Amino acid sequence: MNKLTKKAIDYLKVLSAEMVSNAGSGHTGVSLGASSILFALFKDHYNFDVSDTDYLNRDRFVMSAGHGSAVYYSLLSMFGFDVSLQDLQNYRKFGATTAGHPEFGTIGAIETSTGPLGQGVANAVGMAIAESYLEERFNAIGFPVINNFTYCFAGDGDLMEGVALEACALAGSYNLKRFILLYDSNDVTMDGRTDLSTRENISKKFKAMGFKVIFVKRGNDYTACTRAIAKAKKVGKPCIIIFKTTIGIGTEQQGTSAMHSHPLSPEELKNFKAKLGIKESFFIPSDVRDLCLQTTIAGKLAHEKWNQNFAVYGTTHPELYKKLLSFFDNKKIDFEKIISNDKFSNMSMRSINHIFLNELAEKLPQMIGGAADVASSTQAYLENGGDFVAGNKRGRNLRFGVREHAMAGIVNGIALYEDFLPFDSTFLSFSNYSIPALRMRALMKLPVIDFFTHDSIIVGEDGPTHQPIEQLGQLRSIIGLNVFRPADANELAAAYKHFIMNRVPVSIVLARQKIEQTGLSSFKGASMGGYVLKNVSGKAKVVIYSSGSEVPLAVSVANELDKMNISASVVSFPCISLFEEQTDSYKTKVLQKDADLRVVIEASNDAIWFKYLNDKDLRIGIEKYLSSANGEILYQKAGFSLKQILKQILKKVK
Amino acid sequence: MNKLTKKAIDYLKVLSAEMVSNAGSGHTGVSLGASSILFALFKDHYNFDVSDTDYLNRDRFVMSAGHGSAVYYSLLSMFGFDVSLQDLQNYRKFGATTAGHPEFGTIGAIETSTGPLGQGVANAVGMAIAESYLEERFNAIGFPVINNFTYCFAGDGDLMEGVALEACALAGSYNLKRFILLYDSNDVTMDGRTDLSTRENISKKFKAMGFKVIFVKRGNDYTACTRAIAKAKKVGKPCIIIFKTTIGIGTEQQGTSAMHSHPLSPEELKNFKAKLGIKESFFIPSDVRDLCLQTTIAGKLAHEKWNQNFAVYGTTHPELYKKLLSFFDNKKIDFEKIISNDKFSNMSMRSINHIFLNELAEKLPQMIGGAADVASSTQAYLENGGDFVAGNKRGRNLRFGVREHAMAGIVNGIALYEDFLPFDSTFLSFSNYSIPALRMRALMKLPVIDFFTHDSIIVGEDGPTHQPIEQLGQLRSIIGLNVFRPADANELAAAYKHFIMNRVPVSIVLARQKIEQTGLSSFKGASMGGYVLKNVSGKAKVVIYSSGSEVPLAVSVANELDKMNISASVVSFPCISLFEEQTDSYKTKVLQKDADLRVVIEASNDAIWFKYLNDKDLRIGIEKYLSSANGEILYQKAGFSLKQILKQILKKVK
């Protein structure tokens, strides 16, 4: 390592340490310990263009150990990204782009929000899947239009998380050759030495998963780091580089957990800087800037060269070129036409969804995805898509195995890579395995659609473990996740429309059983999230709010009430959060709160419905776990029958 | 294998296949494929006493691949457990103990409910931890009072799940020498061949995790199976036996995913039985019964022998004996005394909890547990407990590493092993990593307590990924999980009391910041889940419902209103679900619904509060993700200030 490089890394370390001390919170340990790895990556390998952080073939870098944000922001600043020294000083302060953990959408370079451990690893695997998919679809001899690497920086904690282990198992199984995991192995986590909880051989574990393993004994040595990364790029399979590092290197408590989340005190910081011979604060010397600038310029040139090559590709391979240019476009979908189809009668929602998904995927090549080993049951499968496997990365169906959490994190990564419209699927009951990834998706507003089938207790014989009761409410509670529980094809179309037009996260909850057609639903109404499905003339005496599989029951109840001269309307709520976004006047009209009685019928325990009810109103829901038995029997036992509901309503109305 | 053993396994297969066909749903594939493994286990190794399925040193058997319930119930019936042939015919029917997936509490032998994949593996690791803990604490030379094995049967899907991978990493790290994983490796899951999604070397992966690996090429051969299990018992470290089996063996579609969840048709069943030369239905021949009875009797005798040994142990080691006998007893805890302590002022809830936990753990040796690598921050640590590590299994602090999901599943297993009162801990934000295990805990009503610290947006600088908003409501929505959000030491004591007296699942949500003391709280009131914390004389004009860190703010608001001659009371709700269990008259008195205005103040988006509000009332909550900044600033920005809340209330009241 030459002197200037050492100097650059020293200043990088000081910047990071100062950021944390200045903020009064954060993680000095990883920022110092990982400085050589990350400087080597940024200086010599990471392919980026600061003037266009979104160009398609840029390398993807994911800081999965998001608590190391200080060193990350410092690097971004040094290499000319849109992060000023002032931004570094504002670290963790209100309104700063330099947030406590990297946040997608704040600084162009940040490819994903990280912090909750393991999520970044799954995202990065998703990005590498997206890359390899496009690579196989669009590259031609002499035209490596897509060949970027995905680098993921992860710490000990990341690689303990199940979501990361699931994702890595997939990276190995798919043989993602441009996926490089930079593992900062410092043997220390917040609570102490890792061997308190971890005595495994990570190297052998990753080999067993199909990774090439590169071991770097001196992970705080720039030269060793850059050589290892250079090697990793050539191995032609997923690669993990195990960098043995010293947490908080250069500080008095280096190598101990005391350094994990410890801001250096003024005294400690002074000593630390003195040891490195650095006096300035929040400062990057001009020779260091110039050194970094070489890389910054090289990155721009590489992008220009890529542009030129891409232009030539346009003339030599006009069809592929055209296809790629339009690949991510929104295409016009004629929903009215799809739903005018009469083949939906006497089908289950999962089967109707299968038709929708396949029709849309024909028009939208950017729809790829899969299921957590239940595609044969959820029917979330593209018939003409083929399987994405190690030997065929053109496949549009991803076989995730029984890995719900990684699945959700991976499709997040696919959506982050570029404007894909990915999907995933499992049983509603097991949606809760993936909640942390769903929350990250909502936080980043990623256009991913999931299909959660086997809705509610009517699943029956598989018993309470498979009967979702709380899951619906748990999903709805995630801020920004648009949860649809459609009653039929019209309402399902509204969910797809919302997804495709607005490119927001959408979760669709689908019944397994065949559904009854009310003939009253409306695509337009459903597009508002909630709408009057069955109206009455004049003021309704009873208004029934319902969703999904309970809507036909709600209509039957209303019809019976009508017969008794108790006029009853039915409001269907395919998506409560979308309904909440409508104007007050629309909401007032739909909710009909002036009715004598409001009734909710939904086979879940979601408390959100209380929002629309007063003390005297009635909610028919489920408040306990049921048993393993025929679903229809359970449904009756839980009170979901015309007779039982009528009885309850009449008690209230009379 | 002799003829009679073959006959027994053939009848076992037919029983299982008939159960699934008779029920019309279920999983024939695993039931047939695993029949030799499980028959070998039950016949030759599994140590049980059908007349006392709860005795302490019985072996633990966990059917993690719970969808294989048919073969499990069939075995239970053959070996004399409380499962009749009629029960097998009632499989999956309403009211039957033979539920779709094994359910804890239905049949004595069932050690845990399984179905959601991976959970059983984590439970079994927890049982093996509990065993090894007691073994090290209580065994004496010549008196192996505790030395049972924990057998866990798992399929391909189980070992793809992150929760299982996390748990196995711990089993290896802790070197749990009596943990035996019986892996039914049939290379087929619901969606097809496993190599669609999994091309790893499981054998090497488990070796890397510290397991002894035994490979059985002929996993459908009884002799090979029983020899392998015999060997596994002697290895002195955690062991996985990889049984290569054929799914649905003996059927026309054996070895394919078509057999995964396929009930044999009458025709297929007829052919299957004909091939085995079996004509009877739901039948166990007497010679097969006699064969199994030998094991059943041997099991009883082993138990008797254990009893005798234990009695001698009582005379030779009276102190240990006495200690063990009282180990799981409920001890009287003087909560009033603990809370009379004046050291709680100016402390954070996590610090107060640290004191509580340590005081209680001194009295309750059955309290063991730990955190997901955040004990240093959540303070869920027993100061005098020592660490449970490979070399010291007397330690009461479990270092789970960053493995929230396995942690929750493992403490479930500890509670299932015997009457432990285990605890776990992480940040509230990451409680959602463990939701599937929390749901299983609630379903089984297990006495586990968790401490979720770093409550709400006031966490601040770590940003929205670390600021829990939905998590509180998601936890509260789990049926039977008693979620406490205590405002101070008095309310915290009520949470502990509820846990210890009722032995039910309790989750405690704790603030990181220092809390203000209102001086108004009440241990007794808090024990009701909700109570009037600040009263007014006569009817209140405004009633404020609040919880946890918002209670002092609610009191300030009420005091200000009082000054304006708007009488305001405050109701504190440390545990909403517990409050809901109170009498109607108590609830009515507390809720004071006759007030002119009801107001909720809680820094979450939990919709449960709408239950107590009418249209015109006011809810102060959080409906969006916030940024990374000082927590106090965020709290203000989100509307949690005296001034802002007063303004909103006055607008409504006037």
CA-based nearest residue in chain B for residue A403: B161
The answer to whether B427 and B374 are in contact (CB under 8 A) is yes
Question: What share of residues in chain A are helix, strand, coil (percent, to 5)?
Answer: 45, 15, 40
The answer to whether B149 and B238 are in contact (CB under 8 A) is no
Please report residues of A whose CB lies closer than 8 A to that of B204. Answer: 204, 207-208
Residue A346: per-residue pLDDT? 85
The reply to whether B208 touches chain A by the CB within 8 Å rule is yes
Domains A3-300 and A523-653 equal at CATH topology level: yes
The answer to whether A28 and A67 are in contact (CB under 8 A) is no
Of A198, A122, A206, nearest to A166 by C-alpha is A122
The answer to whether B263 and B28 are in contact (CB under 8 A) is yes
Just give the CATH number of B335-509.
3.40.50.970
In the chain, the amino acid numbered B244 is K
User: β-strands A60-63, B449-453: how paired?
Assistant: unpaired
Q: Which two tokens stand for residue B620?
A: 């102060």
User: What pTM did the predictor assign?
Assistant: 0.98
Edge-to-edge order in the sheet of strand B506-509: B387-388, B397-399, B369-371, B423-427, B449-453, B506-509, B482-484
Of B391, B574, B385, B565, nearest to B498 by C-alpha is B574
What's the average model confidence in pLDDT over A222-234? 98
Contact flag A436-B433 (C-beta cutoff 8 Å): yes
The answer to whether A246 and A186 are in contact (CB under 8 A) is yes
Q: Is B441 helix (H, G, I), strand (E, B) or coil?
A: helix
Across A524-533, b (16+ Cβ under 10 Å) vs e yields ebbbbbbbbb
Q: Which two tokens stand for residue A287?
A: 């020779």
Distance from CA of A94 to the nearest CA of B (A): 4
The reply to whether A623 touches chain B by the CB within 8 Å rule is yes
Give the DSSP letter string of B406-436: HHHHHHHHHHHHSS---EEEEEGGGGGGGHH
Across A453-489, b (16+ Cβ under 10 Å) vs e yields bbbbbbbbbbbbbbbbbbbbbbbbbbbbbbbbbbbbb
Residue B319: per-residue pLDDT? 97
Across B301-338, b (16+ Cβ under 10 Å) vs e yields ebbeebeeebeebeeebeebbeebeebeeeeebebeeb
Query: Would you say domain B3-300 falls under CATH 3.40.50.970?
Result: yes
| Chain position carrying tokens 């190794």 | B45
The dihedral region occupied by A371, where left means phi > 0, alpha psi between -120 and 50, and beta the remainder, is beta
The answer to whether A242 and A260 are in contact (CB under 8 A) is no
CB proximity list for B394: less than 8 A, separation 6 or greater:
B133, B136, B137, B386, B388
Residue-range domain boundaries for chain B: 3-300, 335-509, 523-653
CA B354 to each of CA B374, B382, B492: distance values in angstroms, whole numbers, following the listed order: 13, 8, 11
Band (A89; pLDDT cuts 50, 70, 90): very high
Flag whether pLDDT at A604 surpasses 80: yes
Task: Count CB neighbours of B642 within 10 A.
Answer: 12
Residue B341: per-residue pLDDT? 72
The answer to whether A416 and A123 are in contact (CB under 8 A) is yes
Of B53, B68, B52, nearest to B17 by C-alpha is B68
Of A172, A174, A69, A64, nearest to A124 by C-alpha is A64
Residue A462: per-residue pLDDT? 97
Q: What is the share, in percent, of chain A residues with pLDDT greater than 70?
A: 100
Of A577, A458, A433, A625, nearest to B478 by C-alpha is A625
End-to-end alpha-carbon separation of chain B, Å?
A: 87
Q: What is the pLDDT of residues A458-480, one digit of tens each?
A: 999 999 999 999 999 999 999 99
What's the average model confidence in pLDDT over A371-396? 96
What distance in Å separates the CA atoms of residue A581 and residue B401, rounded to the nearest whole number? 42
Name the H helices within A317-425. 318-327, 335-340, 349-363, 375-378, 404-417
For chain B, 654 residues long, the average pLDDT of each consecutive 10-residue run is 95 98 96 98 98 98 98 98 98 97 98 98 98 98 97 98 98 98 95 93 98 98 98 98 97 92 95 97 98 98 97 98 95 89 85 96 97 96 97 97 98 98 98 98 98 96 98 98 97 97 97 90 97 96 98 98 98 98 98 98 98 98 97 97 98 90
SS3 for B480-508, per residue? CCEEECCCCHHHHHHHHHHHHHHCCCEEE
Which residues of A, range 78-97, sit inside 8 Å of B by Cβ?
A: 92-96
- Selected residue of A67, A477, A592 to mutate for chain B interface (largest B Cβ count, 10 A): A477
Burial of B217 (0-12, 13-18, 19+ CB in 10 A): exposed
E strand or H helix that includes residue A166: helix A162-174
Residue B1: per-residue pLDDT? 79
E strand or H helix that includes residue A215: strand A212-216
Task: Count CB neighbours of A324 within 10 A.
Answer: 20
Distance from CA of A442 to the nearest CA of B (A): 10
Which residues of B, range 446-485, sit inside 8 Å of A by Cβ?
A: 461-466, 469-470, 473-474, 477-480
Contact flag B477-A95 (C-beta cutoff 8 Å): no
Please report residues of A whose CB lies closer than 8 A to that of B201. Answer: 208-209
Flag whether pLDDT at A343 surpasses 90: no
Just give the CATH number of B523-653.
3.40.50.920
Which residues of A, range 103-132, sit inside 8 Å of B by Cβ?
A: 103, 113-118
Of residues A1 and B569, the one with the higher pLDDT is B569
What distance in Å separates the CA atoms of residue A76 and residue A70, rounded to the nearest whole number? 10
Of B220, B215, B214, B216, nearest to B233 by C-alpha is B214
- Selected residue of B25, B165, B195, B471 to mutate for chain A interface (largest A Cβ count, 10 A): B165
Of B209, B110, B124, nearest to B158 by C-alpha is B124
Phi first, then psi: give them for residue B470, nearest 5 degrees. -85, -20
The answer to whether A442 and A478 are in contact (CB under 8 A) is yes
Flag whether pLDDT at A342 surpasses 80: no
